[in-house]
Structure 1
């Protein structure tokens, strides 16, 4: 993903995550802070999905629609901010392919784990991809801002 793709990313994000809108500045900052963790899925010349990921602090998911400011040092997890596919792109193995790519990147970058907040009934997909739900004391109110089915999940890299 490049900065030139951000217009398409915004269109996709608005269509796919209507209940979790994010400002263009938030998406642009993710891409600018960690471009090596941002990907586009193009099919027949058309953007049909994207992934935004970056290093972060384990068990402290960033608030939705907020600027990060910087990647923390030390970062203790490779955070999957978003993997989003149009409905027409689902069920074709693309999400599994990008997940494998993200795990490889996390391993190469020296991270022990990947983490994310599963939303929109995606927990089952992430469990099939090797993630597990973790409970973190006092995280409930922040997770609630992601939606009623939000769950913090982690996948260990070293054991895979």
Structure 2
């Protein structure tokens, strides 16, 4: 699981990381607040899909991801209770790299790790909900919009009016 340079590592998230996750999420996503309980539940439900980025020994970002089914994404700040079975895709709930860690390829490594998790679970697709601020980033990573129902569009509106459900095949 250890990847990248000696001073940089993506590792499995630990419960002790959740305070850092919540603080960073609030700083980077002030318009999309989520409670610590949301991150804690995702870590409990899908520990292999929850990773922490360490940069020079400091918390530098996180990936929250898990198996999922269908094109109805989880509403913002909502507990799942359990993951759907059978799953048909791997869902990237959130990927954040600190401002000082951006532009160094850390997010691309995290996406590759999410693909690895999807492959291990036998799932052919990565899916995520992109906010208006991140649409260009995700498009550069090969994600394209899904055709969605009115029900899905209503859920996406819990993020923002331009939020979009995006997917790409696992490479």
TM-score, normalized by length of structure 2? 0.88
Matched-pair contact (CA < 8 Å) for 1:58–1:115: no
Q: 2:98 aligns with which of 83, 86, 107?
A: 86
Correspondence for 1:146: 159
Matched-pair contact (CA < 8 Å) for 1:56–1:71: yes
Q: Distance in 1 between matches of 2:145 and 2:165?
A: 6
Shift in Å, 1:148:
2.4
Q: Distance in 1 between matches of 2:160 and 2:66?
A: 22
Which residues of structure 1 form unaligned runs of 5+? Answer: none
Q: 2:137 aligns with which of 96, 104, 125?
A: 125
Correspondence for 2:26: 14
Structure 1 position 43 matched with structure 2 position 49: no
Q: Secondary structure at the match of 1:10?
A: helix
Shift in Å, 1:120:
4.0
Q: Distance in 2 between matches of 1:8 and 1:120?
A: 24
TM-score, normalized by length of structure 1? 0.94
Matches within 5 A, 1:25-104: 25-104=37-116
Runs ≥4 in structure 1, deviation > 4 angstroms? none
Q: Distance in 1 between matches of 2:153 and 2:81?
A: 24
> Cα RMSD (Å) of the superposition?
1.1
